């Protein structure tokens, strides 16, 4: 869309993406050239435009919210270690229990999401595919459409 014509869309095709980035106030952009039909000459040099660039279309896939991919279960505070632990152990964060630790992987497509079963968090290993920045395709894993996933927790005060 173009600011001058907010109710009109223009179909275009990306013909070139320049490799040299431009940074203005911390925002990095890459100049991109598009081919668009301007036979009615409604588009002029210098007009501000907003483009939604579709790089891939996928249909009939299971999606998970990216917030579920970023979720890390909270670490329960256990009783102090034997031997007191001292001041240092009181201020340093504790390692998560072994079952919650991420295993190092060179394959970034392998991820873990969490679901609730019987009031307990259960890890589900998945392989991810395409993403739009909000939702991500699940290529492989024990995830069914509609399965609620944990994206955050709240602590309750007794």
pLDDT band for position 102 (50/70/90)? low
pLDDT at 83: 55
Q: Are 1 and 8 in contact (CB under 8 A)?
A: yes
pLDDT band for position 101 (50/70/90)? low
Give the chain's mean pLDDT.
84
pLDDT at 70: 92
14 strand-pairing partners: 34
pLDDT at 77 over 90: no
Statement: the pTM of the whole predicted model exceeds 0.75: no
pLDDT at 48: 86
pLDDT for 44-67, tens place per residue? 998 988 888 888 888 999 999 999
DSSP 38-55: -TT----TT--B------
Q: How far apart are CA 102 and CA 4, in angstroms?
A: 50
pLDDT at 52: 87
* Cα 5 to the center of its chain, rounded Å: 32
pLDDT at 107: 67
Q: Are 146 and 154 in contact (CB under 8 A)?
A: no
Of 128 and 93, the one with more pLDDT: 128
Q: Are 63 and 138 in contact (CB under 8 A)?
A: yes
pLDDT at 94 over 80: no
pLDDT at 28: 93
């Amino acid at each position: 869309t173009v600011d001058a014509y907010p109710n009109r869309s223009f179909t275009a095709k990306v013909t070139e993406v320049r490799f040299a980035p431009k940074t203005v106030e911390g925002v990095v952009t890459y100049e991109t050239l598009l081919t668009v039909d301007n036979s009615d000459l409604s588009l002029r040099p210098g007009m501000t435009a907003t483009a939604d660039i579709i790089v891939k279309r996928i249909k009939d896939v299971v999606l998970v919210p990216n917030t579920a991919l970023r979720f890390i279960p909270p670490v329960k505070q256990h009783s102090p270690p034997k031997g007191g632990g001292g001041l240092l152990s009181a201020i340093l964060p504790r390692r998560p229990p072994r079952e919650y630790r991420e295993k190092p992987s060179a394959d970034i497509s392998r991820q873990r999401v969490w679901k609730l079963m019987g009031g307990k968090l259960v890890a589900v290993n998945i392989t991810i595919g395409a993403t739009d920045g909000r939702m991500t395709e699940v290529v492989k894993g024990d995830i069914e459409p509609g399965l609620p996933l944990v994206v955050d927790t709240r602590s309750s005060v007794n």
